[in-house]
Amino acid sequence: MPREVRERQMLDAAVEVFARRGYRAASMDEIAELAGASKPLVYLYLNSKEELFSTCIRREAEALMTAVRAAVDPAAPADRRLWNGLRAFFAHTAAHPDSWAVLHCQARTHGEPFALEIAALRQQLVDVVTHLIADTARGGCGRTLPDREAAGLAHALVGAAESLAGWSNDRTDEAPPERDPAETLMNLAWAGLENLMNGRGWVAARS
């Protein structure tokens, strides 16, 4: 079997085991067995358990970013680009729950170097959404949103998307929500942007 195919099988198995067991409880024996390979071969191809986990994080992060970027058609209207990006994010995380569990749950809880990998993924998402928000504001209202404000809104939107994806994926035994997560978040973002750009931003009452 070609090495590339064998490595993909090992990584697929590792993602499944890490998602189910967590990084510390996952064993190379179980990963090797699920992949249909010997443990020495897993070590030969992918080195240590730490390096294997890092490789899984990088592969799954790249797959998620590829899905989001592929959905954002540069020729589409600004609001459609934001909508398509959100839909692609939620569609990918729903279709690959083990991948999302590794990225959102497991990798965040074990410190460096895993947390740095996740921080890099999050920054890529924030950068994409920052541009989409700025373009959406210009397209919808013809006004420019300050860079810092657009970045702040992007951080908030990405954080909400991450949380909503985790919540949505955990609802396996419940009835599906009336709206899909992408529509829920798009309504929140679009209504907020429209009010903000038309001078209807919320102001705290003075005590």
Q: Sketch the domain layout of the chain as residue ranges.
A: 1-46, 53-197
Q: Per-residue pLDDT tens for 48-75? A: 999 999 999 999 999 999 999 999 998 9
1-46: CATH topology: Arc Repressor Mutant, subunit A (1.10.10)
pLDDT at 118: 86
Lookup: tokens for 45: 């191809």
**Residue environment code for 67-93, b if the CB has 16+ CB neighbours within 10 A, otherwise e:** bbeebbeeeeebbebbbbbbbbbbbbb
Mean pLDDT of 32-53: 93
Residue corresponding to tokens 């390979």: 37
Q: Per-residue pLDDT tens for 121-162? A: 889 999 998 988 888 777 655 567 788 888 998 999 899 899
pLDDT at 64: 95
CB 89 within 8 A of CB 161: yes
pLDDT for 198 beyond 70: no
Number of neighbours of residue 7 by Cβ within 10 angstroms = 17
pLDDT for 98 beyond 80: yes
Domains 1-46 and 53-197 alike in fold: no
Least-confidence region, from 18-27, 29-38, 86-95, 168-177: 168-177
Sign of CA dihedral 145, 151, 155, 161: positive
The number of C-alpha atoms within 13 Å of 195 and in the hemisphere containing its C-beta is: 10
38 against 137, higher pLDDT: 38
CB 180 within 8 A of CB 86: no
Polymer length in residues for the chain: 207
pLDDT mean across residues, the chain: 85
pLDDT at 10: 95
Lookup: tokens for 196: 């903000």
pLDDT for 108 beyond 80: no
Name the pLDDT band for 176 (thresholds 50, 70, 90): low
- DSSP string of 81-95? HHHHHHHHHHHHHHH
pLDDT at 187: 82
pLDDT at 166: 83
For domain 53-197, which CATH number applies: 3.40.920.10, 3.30.1490.190, 3.10.270.10, 1.10.357.10?
Answer: 1.10.357.10
pLDDT at 201: 64
- Crossing angle for the helix pair 181-197 and 114-141, to the nearest 10 degrees: 50
pLDDT at 200: 64
CB 49 within 8 A of CB 70: no
Name the pLDDT band for 190 (thresholds 50, 70, 90): confident
